[in-house]
Structure 1
Amino acid sequence: MAGSNLLIHLDTIDQNDLIYAERDMNFAQKVGLCFLLYGDDHSDATYILQKLLVMARSDLSQSDLLIKFAKSRPETWRRHLVEALCIIGARKVLRRLGFCWQELRMHYLPHIAGITLHVHPLLKSLYRMCEELSLAQSGRLFLDVGEKVASQQAGDPLRFYDPAYLEIFLLDWLTKRSIKHHH
């Protein structure tokens, strides 16, 4: 299957497939995926952040994060989603959607931080950083930056304290414009 077939197969993904794809993901994968998909859209990121916080506090495994994404970007959601799934390494989900990991890996280069086709490159780099930091390093980053953000920002502090999900804090900092990126 060459790149062109991959793109043809992309167009066969149906929104109903997303319900099953999401069931195959654990919470950490959902957090990473949401960070990559929603991190460059302020209003959606704020909403998704709230959904993730609710999910983190309850044992809510059912969620509709992917369908919401598909509906918010009817033209481009498939390419964004498949690239983001590659970046987080969700091979089981991608297989269920009918893709071959080796081909996707060659097409999207998920292991190379600075290269992206659809996902914002800053988000990919930040995600890779989250994956590479130890829990202690994540905790230190969360404390150092979190303190600075809190001192500069009005508004509600994020009442979430698990540095294992560093992307949640990054999403919060992006929505509060403590981290800025340009399109």
Structure 2
Amino acid sequence: MLTISLHQAGCFPPGSGWIRENGAGDGTGYAINVPLPPGTGHAGYLHSMTEVVLPALERFAPDLILLANGFDANVFDPMARQMLTADSYRAMTRMLTNAADRLCHGRLVAAHEGGYSPFYVPYCTLAFLEELAGTTTRITDPLAAVVAEYAAEPLQPHQKAVIDEAAQLVLRIGTHEIAAAS
């Protein structure tokens, strides 16, 4: 099994989820953590998807993708400080469904596992579900105009550096290089 986690560095639980934590024993090399700096938003998460998640899935060639879909990276979450919008979740879902179609006959199972903004999580969830189902309800995100600037924030060099470091682990999936490098 391969696990990949995009999350805010040091957020929850504190002191875990660092890049160097990449499995143990026979599982060494099959865990990829991408501990993104606080404030990493739309551009950083999409860059993580294209540079880490999708290449790792391609290399691993899963029979099934299990998604623990946390909405706690949304811009209004009271616990984390990431800047994702409903459109961010829509875009990442599209990337994953396309990967599932290409790699494992569309087999993608998702579970909702986080998100603590009672007024914004529903819009993120709706965007995710619409993309997953390939349909639209035509319900608009009333906060889209407010958060549009957050989604327009470019990828920052310190965010890219973390993503690039995590991307190096993709090349080691299934090898023993990670154990030797740790």
TM-score for both structures, normalised by structure 1: 0.25
Which one has the bigger helix percentage?
1
TM-score for both structures, normalised by structure 2: 0.25
